[in-house]
A and B are shown apart, each in its own frame.
Chain A
Amino acid sequence: KAGVTQTPRYLIKTRGQQVTLSCSPISGHRSVSWYQQTPGQGLQFLFEYFSETQRNKGNFPGRFSGRQFSNSRSEMNVSTLELGDSALYLCASSSGQGAGNTIYFGEGSWLTVV
């Protein structure tokens, strides 16, 4: 069974630009969530989608957005990039139903903003 796949793995952007990251969940998983990892803040929850609807949202500014498609694939977008957005962006998937779901992570997309 293929794991969570994220693309691209590495990218460099300039301040003010926007970026779109893509995630394909584990087959059969309907919940996709996104996390940001930085050295100072650790792993922080961005948002979670289930059946194309945003179900949970973390404390990030509106520049961070996402969406989920009917095949459960998800994208996240960051507009007007700032230097502080440089981080590892992790996508995770789970079945999304019932209590105590295990969440599985992809390898991440390393974003560097210069």
Chain B
Amino acid sequence: DQQVKQNSPSLSVQEGRISILNCDYTNSMFDYFLWYKKYPAEGPTFLISISSIKDKNEDGRFTVFLNKSAKHLSLHIVPSQPGDSAVYFCAASARGGSNYKLTFGKGTLLTVNP
């Protein structure tokens, strides 16, 4: 049973436009959420995170929104750049003893076209 779902395997946007990547989760114990970016043959690179006590966190061009009632989060990239083309993973961790275990979605391949 997938506890973290990224329902769009791929997304294509034009350079300069907004990229919106979505993620849904089912486990109500999750209280910390992270987005990672991954290029082929490299490890995931941390982008941005959000705690369940917040509904928005912003870092430069990246903003993560959390809707706890809908168990949904999204990553907005504005403006999108060709270098943003990569696979984006949503990940979640739960409070308590599993605080240091991440559950990942299957990723969304973002392609930003020049």
Query: A residues within 8 Å of B by Cβ?
Result: 4, 6, 31, 33, 35, 42-45, 48, 50, 55-56, 58, 88, 90, 92, 94, 96, 99-108, 110
Contact = CB atoms under 8 A, between A and B. Distances in A.
Contacts of B49: 100, 102
B89 interface: yes
Contact of B99 (A6, A42, A92, A99): A99
A106 B44 CA distance: 8
Interface residues of B, number: 27
A109 B3 CA distance: 26
Contact of B97 (A42, A55, A88, A90): A55
B110 to A, nearest CB: 16
A54 to B, nearest CB: 11
A104 B100 CA distance: 11
B100 A108 contact: no
B100 A42 contact: no
Contact of B32 (A43, A92, A99, A106): A99
A33 B32 CA distance: 17
Given A42-B105, A99-B31, A100-B32, A105 B43 contact: yes
